[in-house]
Amino acid sequence: MSTPPLASGPHGPDALRPLLDTVLGALTTGAAARGGPLPAGGPDAVAARVADALGDVLPEHGDPDALRALVHILAAGAADPADPLCAAHLHCPPLAVATAADLAVSALNPSLDSWDQAPAASALEARVTSALAARIGLADAVVTTGGTEANQLALLLAREAHGAHVRLVCSAAAHHSLPRAAWLLGLPDPVVLPAPNGTLDPATLDAALTELTGPLLVAATAGTTDAGLIDPLPEIAARCAAHRVRLHIDAAYGGALALSDRHRALLAGLDAADTVALDLHKLGWQPVATGFLAVADAAELDALHQRADYLNADDDTEAGLPDLLGRSTRTTRRPDILKAAVTLRTLGRTGLADLIDQVLGLAQDFADRIEAHPGLELYDRPTLATVLFRPAHASDDAVAAVRRSLLHEGRAVLGRARADGRLWLKATLLNPHTGPDDLAHLLKLAEGNTPA
């Protein structure tokens, strides 16, 4: 058997070209076989089709058709975020230019744990992270796998700055990764404040901060997962300043509004935070993963410093080789910054802002249609691109059954959220190619599938 070709090196592009044709063809045939936003038949049917296509996971002899067959079955069994009827989660359809850039990263396979593995990528990351941090009024940023890692890193920096007894204070609407990070880091049990309206109430926070003792970390949210709500950030920042407590803002969802002149005011107060989580694989249309943690004090990142002689020996650092181990808690990590850099340069701030404004406008349009529909009920006017609604007069069990029925049939992908003690269908409209007919179709499916 001849030695298989490599993706990089002088012959890499020539080896990749026919394989890319195979992949693109299989993506096309797989999407056609799926025929909608989701494969029909439910989990058992999908698992059976995958098992049939995969066959022996480790066969005695290789199959030259494996690439085509497995990409086909992956596409045929995908929940396609580019389908307008796939609108459940903060799972965006990635831009073609960002996906193409990501191919270069996979082919070159750099690792950002030492300069000699990623010379250009390390310089690129430093410039782009600095620019993104400056856009929201902070000093620096590091790349993460998303909002979850960014939140965990924020709590880690708080612990290093204020000691192991620092206590998280957040609302019941905060992302689950925050209390989980406190548990992972061995911090005291979080103080979880009620959020009856879906956001952190400044007066409730002030009362809690008045009573609590010891070092505290308040976590606010700019874009809740369930309803896309933004906490009153200026008031929360003022309470934190008055009580001299640290502030983290989880802006994984809403942070990209900093690029939009029309919607940036919704983030007023963001620059008062000590740390901010950002995520461009939501309102940034990047392939997973493209997250960031921005910091107000760049010196706090020194807490991440590690020494490994084979990666950042003292004499190499003194000789001018950048020390990259302090830029992440991970060691091996790919330069996810490239796709973001390519997107920012290709579209520019105004190009990305137009996409943001467009999908937020879609959400308003969708809410208008729900309000005008006698068979549907709207939870509230949307703040970002998330809209909660439900069939009028339906029970929670009926709402849940509507969603599962659409999933099983492969006709639409809607999320679910609980608010005001009731279960709601959730549409997260991150596809800028979605049109009025798509919105009408989604509502017809939701309303028409109400069980008797």
How far is 417 from 87, CA to CA, in rounded Å?
Answer: 13
Q: Where does the pLDDT of residue 116 fall: very low under 50, low under 70, confident under 90, or very high at 90 and above?
A: very high
Mean pLDDT score of the chain, rounded to an integer? 97
Rounded distance, CA 446 to CA 403, Å?
Answer: 8
* Residue with tokens 């790919």, as numbered in its chain: 334
Q: Are strands 246-250 and 275-279 parallel, antiparallel or unpaired?
A: parallel
Alpha carbon distance 109, 337 (integer Å): 13
Residue 374: count other Cβ atoms within 10 Å of its Cβ: 7
Quick one: pLDDT at residue 448?
A: 72
Q: Where are the beta strands (DSSP E) in 208-271?
A: 216-221, 246-250
What is d(CA 171, CA 204) in angstroms, rounded to the nearest whole number?
A: 10
Residue 447 pLDDT greater than 90, yes or no:
no
Reply yes or no on whether the pLDDT at 452 is more than 70.
Answer: no
Question: Which amino acid is present at 413?
Answer: V
Is residue 247 a contact partner of residue 218, using CB atoms and an 8 Å limit?
Answer: yes
| Residue with the two structure tokens 């009408």 | 440
Q: How far apart are CA 54 and CA 17, in angstroms?
A: 24
pLDDT tens per residue across span 299-312? 999 999 999 999 99
Residue-level pLDDT at 450? 53
Q: Which residues of 385-413 are buried (b: 16+ CB within 10 A; e: fewer)?
A: bbbbbbbeebeeebbeebbeebbeebbbb
- What are the tens digits of pLDDT across the range 167-197? 999 999 999 999 999 999 999 999 999 999 9
Strand partners, 391: 376
What average pLDDT does this structure show over 12-27? Answer: 98
Q: Which residue type occupies 371?
A: E
The helix (H) or strand (E) run that includes residue 219 is: strand 216-221
Render pLDDT for 258-278 as a digit per residue (tens, 0 to 9). Answer: 999 999 999 999 999 999 999
Alpha-carbon span 286 to 112, nearest angstrom: 19
CB 200 within 8 A of CB 235: no
